[in-house]
Amino acid sequence: MTMLKTETIATINPATEAVIERIAYMDGRAVSEKLDLAVAAGKQWGASALDERSAVLRAVAAQLRREAETLAITAVTEMGKPIVQARAEIEKCAWSLEYFASESGAMLSPQNAPSNAARSYVAFRPLGTVLAIMPWNFPYWQVFRAAAPALMAGNPMLLKHAWNTTRCGLEIERIFTDAGAPAGLFGTLLATNDEIDALIADPRIAAVTLTGSERAGVAVASAAGAALKKCVLELGGSDAFVVLEDADLAKAAKTAVTARFQNNGQSCIAAKRFIVVDGVYDRFMEAFVELAGAQKQGNPREEDVVLGPVARGDLLATLHEQVSATVTRGATLALGGHPIDRQGYYYEPTIVGDVTPGMTMFDQEVFGPAAAVVRARDAEHAIDLANASSYGLGFSIWTADTATAEKLAERVEAGAVFVNGMVASDPRLPFGGIKKSGYGRELSAFGIHEFANIQTVWLG
């Protein structure tokens, strides 16, 4: 959402629709000072030993855990995440920091590359300040998922967070400061979307990473291309959740509810298109509807609530338009299908059956608590339907025959394939997509190398 520089940022509680606080944007001088501070920090940080970097990341992880409850409440208040899930998000951030603090030595060690030289090898050097443009749906994890490997590679980072989770962004900067991180190593910029192109073009920025919408990805990729700067894009998804005839239907249906409705249905890697072979379609649908309808929805600060509001009013309106358009085209409304008449941006847990290609919920990414269920003739047809998407982020297949699943995975057009499990990000595994889900990888050794100067050293 574009906001004028003359305005302040007004964050809104999606559960109450009340303004939480108003925060002033930074002026040009303040932004420039942050950039200078990051460059200065980067010179020392990039020259530091890996054990020094590891110590800082471990200290940040410890600080996150000390303040987990306060940080979790901030996320709940700004974007409506259920409190139990918010705590889990903080813990995952701490774990990721500790993982890269422990494993980066092996990932960044020079790799021998024999050639006609007396000795030749590949070294991984710092690249420079990384600009991270991050979304609101996982306001801590998305940031630390990018920051942990980039920092261990020797780069400082500047964060431009989503406007509706501005306080989360400021809290992350404070956590680094309170943990004793070098000044300027991690900073938050309070800038408008209109200023992003200028930030990317600034010579003090070496690279950019974005998690966001397809539209934002096009804009950032264009700006990075014009400035000849490296970028990684983690964009939207419309993940397929394929259920074959020999699947454990009880387990598949239970996992399907979490895969679709976790984080109020607002996740790029959430399962969104449930493609079920005809022989078990009705049984799966019955179990899926029953379990989805049993979820407790309400105030996200209550411990037993698993489904809160969507994050903004415009997102609520878009979600309802997508559901309504799909049903109008002939799909079957099996559960929910309407905004809830109460204060806050609440939408009923919704399941729409008999969805086919060409319908809105099949073709578009649905960001909210609504699932599309698709009927397939057989396994081959299910894979064809899964691939009939402009997105290619994650894919989940449920079957008792894992050997067949691995063969089918060879045909899947996605960055990740999970067999009998829910697609999730994990620091130990590369994360990212293909097609309109973006390019580049986060996490694992692949992620840490994205923002490194992969330098050939040749000795005669």
**Which residues, other chains included, contact 279 with Cβ-Cβ below 8 Å and sequence gap of 6+?**
245
Kind plus residue range of the DSSP H or E element containing 397: strand 394-398
Contact 14, 311 (CB under 8 A): yes
DSSP 8-state symbol, 264: G
Angle between helix 166-178 and 68-79 (nearest 10): 160
Q: Rounded distance, CA 196 to CA 172, Å?
A: 20
Q: Is 194 helix (H, G, I), strand (E, B) or coil?
A: helix
In order of 123, 271, 386, 394, the CA distances from 239 in angstroms are 36, 5, 8, 5
The DSSP 8-state label assigned to residue 394 in this structure reads: E
Cβ-in-10-Å burial (0-12, 13-18, 19+) of 120 comes to middle
DSSP codes, 64-93: HHHTHHHHHHHHHHHH---HHHHHHHHHHH
CA 86 vs CA 138, 180, 445, 458: distances in Å: 9, 24, 27, 48
Q: Which residues are catalytic?
A: 234, 268
Q: Look at strands 452-459 and 119-126 and give their pairing.
A: antiparallel
Structure tokens at 431: 């994360």
Angle between helix 281-293 and helix 249-261 axes, rounded to 10 deg: 50
Q: Considering only CA atoms, give the Rg of the chain.
A: 22
